[in-house]
Structure 1
Amino acid sequence: MKRIALYHLETLMWIARLGTFRAAAERLNTTQPAISARVREIEDQLGISIFRREGRNMVLTARGRRLVQECEPLWAGFEKALLTASGFEGATGVVRIGSGEIAAASCLPGFVNTVERDLPGVTLELELDLTARMFQQLLGGTIDLAFLAGPVASPGIRTAPIGSVGLVWAASSATAAAGGFARPLPVWSIPDHSPLHGVTVESLAANGVAPRSIATCNNVRTLIEIVIGGGGAAVFPEPMVRAELEAGRLVEVLPRPGRTVRFEAAIRSTESDPLVLELFRRAGDLRIDG
């Protein structure tokens, strides 16, 4: 029997992780026909069927699942040994990172610059989104590493705390001068699957405030501009509005909420890619404070 090459095993691992030949081809920077050819070569060598098609996805057969379970730790160990020996200097690949706006505005730029300096062969793909969607993308394998507003509790996710930020109730100076919450004001917030929305609702109740309405927007920067323009009041992460408060464009209109928003770096609990694990280790050293 001919030997199975290392790239055959790598192909097998990524199809099993991502669920389609197309996704594995994109991850390995090759074509879908090349991936299909590699799978046929493995199956011909072993004399077994490794995958079966279910709709658009390729699902492991019982024998294929056992093969992946036994080969994955061996492959991960091999990758880690090579990368560790070189201090990860020779690392190559694409790592997909999801981040919320607060992390993107604070610790993420420094993290990206460090990775680009230390690991020039690694390409980062960044996407900004809300925590709820990033959580699902992480579990689904469409992103590798995420910076989430927490706390996050799931057996499928492994996290490392990277700090927390304080929150402030703010409105424009004109809104505050007109009486602020002494009259019914519209309140703006991130949608209700965000921790910031929960803090908003809790804080209104704690202060005995009945807002005229609670409108939502999934972008904090846009919320800031809406409120500066006189569109009501909102709870904001203090670091994101610090300059506006100092310049007087925004004014605090209620006591600061007692809760803070925690942030965590997160990967799948089953993650075995040494490069992703190394970036997760580095992400765990970050700090968001405010």
Structure 2
Amino acid sequence: MLTLKQLETFIQVVELGTFERAAQRLNATQSTVSKRISELEEATGLQLFDRSRRNARLTEEGERMLELAHATLSNAHRILELNHYPERTLHRVRIGFTELTALTWLPNFLRDYTTERPEIRLDITIDMSRTLYQQFQDGELDLVVIPMVSEAFAQPGVESRLVEEVEMALMACEGLVGGPRPLPISALDNYTLIGQGKRSGFAQSVNRWLSHQGMGAATLTADNLLALVGLVTAGRGISVLPKRCVQRLTRNDALEAIDTTPPLPSIGYYALYHDSARIKLFDELARRLGNAADFTRPFFV
């Protein structure tokens, strides 16, 4: 059986060059050191030292073994320290965000939070909201920040916290849409509607609302928010976009928000997480996310 004592002895023999010096360092007899090395070779089936040499010279197998031995002992020491330094326990949280979050407040949040809480490792996934929600349901993500998903609120064992309401608006390039303001939604039905695809929960909510107002579905789709903004700026159609964020993305009033009757509703972004043994950690993290959320300011502008 392989033991930590054998690995420690192996490393000392390599570092000090002889079994005799290793025995002195370990406060053991030379025969004890030799026995541990023999047991290690028997347990692994490897010949670690070239016995034809006077000094302890590693074989190729021994060279490969040395790196793994160092890593194994290092991890073993960390395990033994957990009881003495419980505050150093590393918590891994798998968390998913949409593109809008990544384009606005997420970079600053990660910088600040990881500095303040180095014991928490955030594994980040950026994707469309429906994909993130499916990964959350499948247990691949611990927490997601996505637009409201109605079925999530009826699912037992799922906690939710409102992060922020995002003001939405129908937007077009300057001068594309004429007429007095506000315009009835029905007056915009002749324009090409540009939207995100089916993997976007945000797009599904918008499309349902527009459909209730008698407006047709999007005929031009792009899953990338910046691509949507580019298409609208180029005059290819109108789109429902996060108003203040997009206005700061464009220059010289290239886009205008079209006031409508009825006005577009805001979209609520929620932190969703499971009621589990780590509920306190997730509660605290969701609260911090809510404090940091600002969907109005593009990070790179």
Same fold by TM-score greater than 0.5: yes
Task: For residue 205 of structure 2, give the secondary structure of its aligned residue in structure 1.
Answer: helix
Structural mapping, 1:60-79, within 5 Å: none
**Contact residue 109 and residue 289 of structure 2 kept, 8 A:** yes
Query: Matched residue of 2:176: which SS?
Result: helix
Instruction: Report whether the alignment pairs 1:198 with 2:205.
Output: yes
List per-residue Cα deviations over 1:221-277 (Å, max 9, x = no partner): 211111111221100011321225673111223517341100111212235376555
Q: How many residues align?
A: 205
Match of 2:236 among 217, 231, 236: 231
Q: Which runs of 5+ in 1 are unaligned?
A: 1-78
Alpha-carbon distance between aligned partners in 2 of 1:140 and 1:223, rounded to the nearest angstrom: 30
Matched residue type, 1:215: L
Find 1:104's aligned residue among 94, 102, 109: 102
Cross-structure match for 1:253 = 258
Mapped to 2, the partners of 1:230 and 1:277 lie a distance apart of 44
Q: Residue 15 of structure 2 corresponds to which residue in structure 1?
A: none
Q: Distance in 1 between matches of 2:164 and 2:99?
A: 15
Q: 1:243 to 1:258 in 2, by over 3 A?
A: same
The higher radius of gyration belongs to 2
Q: Which runs of 5+ in 2 are unaligned?
A: 1-81, 297-301
SS at match of 2:134: helix
- The 4+ residue runs of structure 1 with deviation greater than 6 A are 177-180
* Cα distance per residue 1:159-207 (max 9 Å; x no partner): 111120111111112533699966822111122452333324523653x
Name the residue aligned to 2:35: none
Give the corresponding residue for 1:132. 130
Q: CA deviation at 1:132?
A: 1.5
Match of 1:268 in 2: 274
Shift in Å at residue 101 of structure 1? 2.2
Give the C-alpha shift of residue 281 in structure 1. 4.5
The equivalent of 2:174 in structure 1 is 173
Using the size of structure 1 for normalisation, the TM-score is 0.59
What is the CA-CA distance between 1:103 and the residue it aligns to? 2.3
Q: What's the CA shift for 1:125?
A: 2.2
Is 2:195 the partner of 1:189? yes
Instruction: Give the CA RMSD over aligned residues.
Output: 3.5
Q: Distance in 2 between matches of 1:135 and 1:173?
A: 36
Deviates more, 1:154-163 or 1:114-123: 114-123
1:164, 1:288 within 8 Å by CA — same for their partners in 2? no
In 2, the alpha carbon distance for the partners of 1:278 and 1:205 equals: 38
8 A Cα contact 2:100 2:295, kept in partner: no
8 Å Cα contact 1:174-1:230 kept in structure 2:
no
1:12-51 deviation digits (Å, cap 9, x = unpaired): xxxxxxxxxxxxxxxxxxxxxxxxxxxxxxxxxxxxxxxx
The amino acid across from 2:92 in the alignment is V
Select the residue among 204, 219, 240 that pairs with 1:214: 219
Distance 1:186 1:114 in 2: 42
